[in-house]
């Protein structure tokens, strides 16, 4: 690539044996993408189509699944194109957009999980006040905040990074995550500090809040009957499983990469694929099988199709 091209485009150098397995990668990821779209869309359709699912808990689940669809739609088409291309490149502007969408949607996931935990907390710990607290207006506000706040916060480093000069043009990864900042000629202390502030606001704080609410729920339900404890576990356990899974992958992506830890190429590749595959595909399976009302409608839908 000549200098003129290098100024505009970034080489993506995170794939492993792409020349050898390109068609295998393509078929696998296309299959996963179709499954993600179908599974998430099916659960969202069921929630939208059935009146008894028009409750805050299910609305937040639908929002979480829509978030997974958006996340996958931002990342998968580019991956599929790269698998079949001779050169894996991306323009700097497209890289900035992918960075923005990747982190704003990831942060929204944590805020949506926090909103879900708050809904469960009010439902179980303050049942008499539930109808007055979790109104349609309040639910809409929580959804609006969950998507708008991360988008505004992530937009700041994107705007600040756009005029920066690049001194490196090879990205050690398969997508534009936090590692793209290593391409800048001068590392920005302001961006690093701001990134940590965002991390505290939209990741660490919601996680602490979620753990606090579920701890309160388990303490209160422990004093009640076995049936109450069973119902609480039935609704809260899927949320906790999703949170633990997502938090572990996010710790790798945000903290370890920002600390500059060097990983073998194959490890980076596998971990990034897990972020792209595991969570968007994991959510609908967890909520579809573990949430009793959704599972009932899902079972009915498939029985009609068969």
Pairing, β 89-91 against β 9-12 = antiparallel
3-state secondary structure of 11: strand
What distance in Å separates the CA atoms of residue 48 and residue 52, rounded to the nearest whole number? 10
Question: Which DSSP letter does residue 31 get?
Answer: H
Of the candidates 24, 18, 182, the one whose C-alpha atom is nearest the C-alpha of residue 88 is 18
Of the candidates 104, 118, 102, the one whose C-alpha atom is nearest the C-alpha of residue 208 is 118
Q: Where are the domains of the chain?
A: 3-305
What are the backbone angles phi and psi of residue 194, rounded to the nearest 5°?
A: -65, -40
What distance in Å separates the CA atoms of residue 164 and residue 162, rounded to the nearest whole number? 6
Q: What's the pLDDT at 256? A: 56
pLDDT band at 6 (very low <50, low <70, confident <90, very high): very low
pTM: 0.87
As beta bridge partners, residue 89 has: 11
pLDDT digits (tens, 9 = 90+) for 38-76: 999 999 999 998 888 899 989 999 999 999 999 999 999
The CATH number fitting domain 3-305, selected from 1.10.3720.10, 1.10.287.130, 1.10.630.10, 1.20.1070.10: 1.20.1070.10
pLDDT digits (tens, 9 = 90+) for 247-279: 777 777 766 555 655 677 788 888 888 888 887
């Amino acid at each position: 690539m000549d200098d003129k091209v290098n100024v505009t485009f970034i080489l993506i150098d995170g794939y492993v044996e792409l020349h050898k397995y390109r068609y295998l990668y393509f078929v696998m990821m296309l299959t996963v993408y179709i499954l993600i779209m179908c599974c998430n869309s099916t659960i969202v359709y069921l929630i939208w189509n059935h009146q008894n699912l028009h409750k805050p808990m299910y609305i937040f689940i639908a929002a979480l699944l829509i978030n997974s669809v958006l996340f996958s739609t931002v990342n998968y088409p580019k991956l599929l194109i790269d698998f079949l291309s001779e050169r894996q490149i991306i323009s700097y502007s497209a890289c900035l957009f992918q960075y923005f969408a990747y982190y704003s949607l990831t942060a929204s996931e944590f805020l949506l999980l926090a909103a879900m935990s708050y809904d469960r907390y009010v439902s179980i710990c303050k049942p008499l006040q539930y109808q007055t607290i979790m109104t349609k207006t309040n639910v809409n506000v929580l959804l609006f905040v969950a998507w708008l706040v991360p988008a505004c916060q992530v937009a700041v480093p994107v705007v600040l990074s756009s005029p920066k000069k690049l001194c490196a043009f090879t990205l050690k990864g398969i997508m534009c995550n936090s590692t793209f900042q290593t391409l800048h000629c001068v590392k920005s202390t302001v961006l690093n500090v701001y990134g940590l502030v965002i991390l505290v606001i939209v990741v660490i704080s919601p996680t602490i809040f979620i753990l606090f609410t579920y701890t309160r729920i388990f303490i209160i339900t422990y004093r009640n009957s076995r049936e109450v404890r069973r119902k609480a576990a039935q609704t809260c356990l899927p949320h906790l499983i999703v949170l633990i899974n997502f938090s572990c992958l996010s710790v790798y992506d945000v903290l370890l990469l920002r600390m500059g830890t060097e990983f073998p190429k194959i490890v980076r590749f596998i971990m990034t694929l897990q972020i792209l595959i595991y969570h968007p595909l994991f959510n609908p399976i967890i909520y579809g099988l573990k949430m009793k009302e959704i599972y009932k409608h899902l079972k009915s839908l498939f029985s009609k199709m068969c």
